[in-house]
Chains A and B, each alone.
Chain A
Amino acid sequence: MKKTPLNEEHRNLGAKMVDFGGWDMPVQYSGVLEEHLAVRKKVGLFDVSHMGEFTVKGPDALAFIQHVTCNDVAKLAHKQIHYSAFTYPEGTIVDDLLVYRQDDNEFFLVVNAANIEKDFDWITSQSGGFNVELKNVSDSYAQLAVQGPEAVKIIETLFGKVAPQMGYYWFDYVTYEGSPCILSRTGYTGEDGFEVYCPPSVAVRLWRQMLELGQPFGILPCGLGARDTLRLEAKMCLYGNDIDHTTTVLEAGLGWICKLDKGDFIGADILRQQKEEGLERKLMGFEMVDRGIARHGYPVFSEPGGEQLGTVTSGSYAPFLEKNIGLTYLPVEKAKIGTEIFIGIRKKTAKAVVVKTPFYKRQK
C-alpha cells in the first residue's frame, strides 16, 4: 500500500488507518464528530498528500487545458485558481480538479488520488497537436490542509501577511525551511482554510509545527471520515460517488464550472445539446424525515413499494447540522425542493425530502 510522508505521524497520534484507494490513510484520530466540529468552529489539520499534482507548460498550455477541461481557463489571472473537470466526449466526467494558473502558459493541476494514473493517461492521449509538456509531479509534493475559521492565524504565523491578504481560490509561493511551497486558500470542507504543497522532506516538520501553533486555537488532526462529512454538508461532489464517467457535468449541478460559450472542448457538443433539450436527471440533496441514515448505494423510491428512481450517491449523519442528509440523482420532474422520496434502508423504507443545497454554508 502507498504511504504519505506522514504515515508514521498518524500512527503515533493513534489514528485508525484504512485502505483508501490503495493509500494507507487515517480515517479518524479522536473521533469523526469531534474532528468535524473542530473544523466548523476552530481549526483542523488534514494530510492530503495522496492527492495528485500535474504541471502543464508550453506555448499551447492554455489552449490545451481549455480543450480538456470545461471551465474557462482564459478567465484566470496569474496566481488564481478555479474548480473544473476533465470531460469525456459524452460530457461525462474523467475527474474533477483544481487548476492553478502559474503563468500565461504554465499551470498546476490538482487531481484525485484514485485517478492520478487514469487522468494522466487521458490528458496525454488528448495532447496530440498541442505543443505542451505534461508532467506528473505527484511524488514531489506532500499536501497539508489547514481548515476552519482559525486557520488563517496559523498560516499567518508560518508564512506572514500573504495569508490574511490572500483571497479565496488564490495562491502564492512561499518557503518553509528554505524549501519552496505553494500556498493556496482552498479546501474541501466548506470552511475557510489553506492548503500547502511542500516537498515530502519537510512534511513531518511542517505537520508538527502546525499542530503546535494550532494548539491555543484547539486544532485537531482530522481524518478522511471528517473530510467526507464536511464536504457532504457543503455539497461538494466526491468522484466515484456523486460524479463519474456516467454522469455529465450538467446533471451533477456543476453548470457553474461548465462554460459552454468559451469555445470548443471535449464533450462541449453533447453538453450544449443537453442544456438546450433539458436534463433528464439532476443531482439533488435530501434530508431524512423518518429515522434512519441513508448511505451510498441505498435505493431511492418514488413511494414505498413504488418505482426505483435511483440510488443514494452519498449519505451520512451530518455532525454540524445534526441531521441525516444525502445526495441522489432524481428525474427532473422529481428534482424539486419539497418533493418526498423514500430511501430503502436495509429492510425498511424511510421518508426523505428534497432540500435546498448546500446543506451548510459558512457565514462570510
Chain B
Amino acid sequence: MVPNDRYYTKEHEWIKVEGETGTIGITDHAQKQLGDIVFVEVPEVDTELEKGDEAGSIESVKAVADVFSPVSGTVTEVNEALEDEPELVNKDAQGEGWLFKLRLEDKSELEGLMDAASYEKYLEEEEG
C-alpha cells in the first residue's frame, strides 16, 4: 500500500505536504520490517532540521531504526499519542502513526524525493 498523495525517501520515510507544512512518518513497508514497535522518539517542537538530519528513532523489541528528516524545516507539531501507543505505527504507519510535522524551508528539496510509483519500484528492486 503506497498512497500517491506524498513523497518517499530511500530510508522509507514519507512526507505529505499541505501548503507550507509537511507531515512525516515511516512507510508501511518499514513498520513491517521492524516488527512490534515498542518505543518511538520524535524531535521536540521548534527543532530546526536539515534535510537528512536524524529526527528521531523507532524501536521494535529487537531493532532500533533512526528516522531522518526528508527535507529541511522547523518542527511545528509532534504526534504525542505515540508516547503511550507506539503500536500506532504498526497499525497505521501512513495515517494515525505519523511522527511529526514541519514547516518546509525549501520546497524544491521535494524534487529529490520519490513519488509513489518510483517508491514501489524501489521496493521491488530492494526485495528482488
Contacts and interface: CB of A to CB of B under 8 A. Distances in A.
Contacts of A229: 61
Contacts of A324: 39
Most buried by B among A27, A292, A293, A316: A293
B38 A28 contact: no
Contact of B61 (A291, A292, A319, A346): A319
Q: Name the interface size band of chain A.
A: 10 to 19
B117 interface: no
Interface in B20-45: 35-36, 38-39, 41
A295 interface: yes
Interface string A289-305: 00111010000000000
Interface string A264-298: 00000000000000000000000000011101000
Given A28-B35, A31-B35, A225 B83 contact: no
Per DSSP, chain B at the interface is strand
Nearest to B59: A293
B57 A346 contact: yes
A98 B59 CA distance: 34
A225 B59 contact: no
A33 interface: yes
B41 A291 contact: yes
A317 B41 contact: no
10 contacts: A28-B62, A31-B35, A33-B61, A34-B36, A225-B35, A291-B41, A292-B39, A295-B64, A317-B39, A346-B57
Interface of A: 16, 27-28, 31-34, 225, 229, 291-293, 295, 316-317, 319, 324, 346
Given A31-B35, A32-B62, A34-B36, 4 more contacts: A33-B36, A291-B41, A316-B61, A346-B57
